[in-house]
Amino acid sequence: MLSALARPASAALRRSFSTSAQNNAKVAVLGASGGIGQPLSLLLKNSPLVSRLTLYDIAHTPGVAADLSHIETRATVKGYLGPEQLPDCLKGCDVVVIPAGVPRKPGMTRDDLFNTNATIVATLTAACAQHCPEAMICIIANPVNSTIPITAEVFKKHGVYNPNKIFGVTTLDIVRANAFVAELKGLDPARVSVPVIGGHAGKTIIPLVSQCTPKVDFPQDQLTTLIGRIQEAGTEVVKAKAGAGSATLSMAYAGARFVFSLVDAMNGKEGVVECSFVKSQETDCPYFSTPLLLGKKGIEKNLGIGKISPFEEKMIAEAIPELKASIKKGEEFVKNMK
């Protein structure tokens, strides 16, 4: 009896989610078989905003696609395997999400991933520049502080660079900040919003707790501990997984949240704001994450850093040398590519 009742309810639920005739986003996930790629693809398949989901990897994508295709939501799903199938995966895409690459093991920094992931990102983004130059590009592959400059330089090489369409997905830092602040204050995390600016590694992650809504206050020692936990939260998960990987499920959630915000804005929804690591004039770093107003063509307006505390100013000053070095490393990598 229950299942008979459940069907109309789920159909009604799906209809109620579908508010816009423009819910037709064609999304590609590159690295769809991996630890982030699979749960991310599941979340995208579950969304009424997505009409076509194309999944690429160097292994297992036909299986992942077959599995997801049985889910009772309208997005069509197709798997693409290996470099020769990548162009077809990308054609006609509105949004490309790239979680491809190797994860951290205990004792590794995000920068230790550089050599492997830099090559992977450069190869995949070159294919995007050729086969879907107008698409929004969302980079999850670490180190984001370097893989975003890599993506920009690759797009420049192909003559199709648009800084308003290339995003470093730092959303997990915001998600963690919201969760940890809510936990400490006994608040509903869904109602907490902490902007996180800077970059996406260690001390370059700068949570602006002074700008949190609702307003929260912490004694300095508790604030220092909280910020340290947000900055090292990825390492917390790497250690807890004891060699079995890094943050995959929370990253998939954060990646999906960013993509849904982007697609909402592309569909004409107003007032959509997300932080992301992008080309920026807000500091003397050529790339920097700040809250961005998203629109139909990507970044509509960089909302900047806003009013911050002296403690937060000090964190920015301390982050900039490391950020600049990571950015330069990414740019140099593309310049030295064969």
What residues form the annotated binding site for substrate? Answer: 104, 110, 142, 176
Annotated binding site for NAD(+): 31-37, 57, 117, 140-142, 251
Q: Which residues pair with 146 in a beta bridge?
A: none
Q: Which letter does DSSP use for residue 167 in this model?
A: E
For residue 96, give the 3-state DSSP assignment.
Answer: strand
H helices within the chain, ranges in order? 2-17, 37-45, 61-68, 86-90, 114-131, 144-157, 171-185, 220-231, 233-241, 249-266, 310-335
Sequence-ordered list of residues with C-beta below 8 angstroms from that of 79, at least 6 positions apart, any chain: 32, 55, 56, 61, 62, 63, 64, 65, 66
Q: How far apart are the first and last CA of the chain?
A: 64
Q: What span, in angstroms and rounded, lies between the C-alpha atoms of 321 and 111? A: 15
Sequence-ordered list of residues with C-beta below 8 angstroms from that of 18, at least 6 positions apart, any chain: 48
C-alpha 171 chain-centroid distance: 6
User: Choosing from 70, 131, 158, 200, which is the catalytic residue?
Assistant: 200
Q: Is 200 a catalytic residue?
A: yes
Sequence-ordered list of residues with C-beta below 8 angstroms from that of 110, at least 6 positions apart, any chain: 104, 142, 143, 144, 145, 200, 201, 202, 234
Annotated binding site: 31-37, 57, 104, 110, 117, 140-142, 176, 251
Q: Cβ-count burial of 202 within 10 angstroms (0-12 exposed, 13-18 middle, 19+ buried)?
A: middle
The answer to whether 208 and 308 have CB atoms below 8 angstroms apart is yes
The answer to whether 100 and 81 have CB atoms below 8 angstroms apart is no
**Catalytic residue numbers?**
200
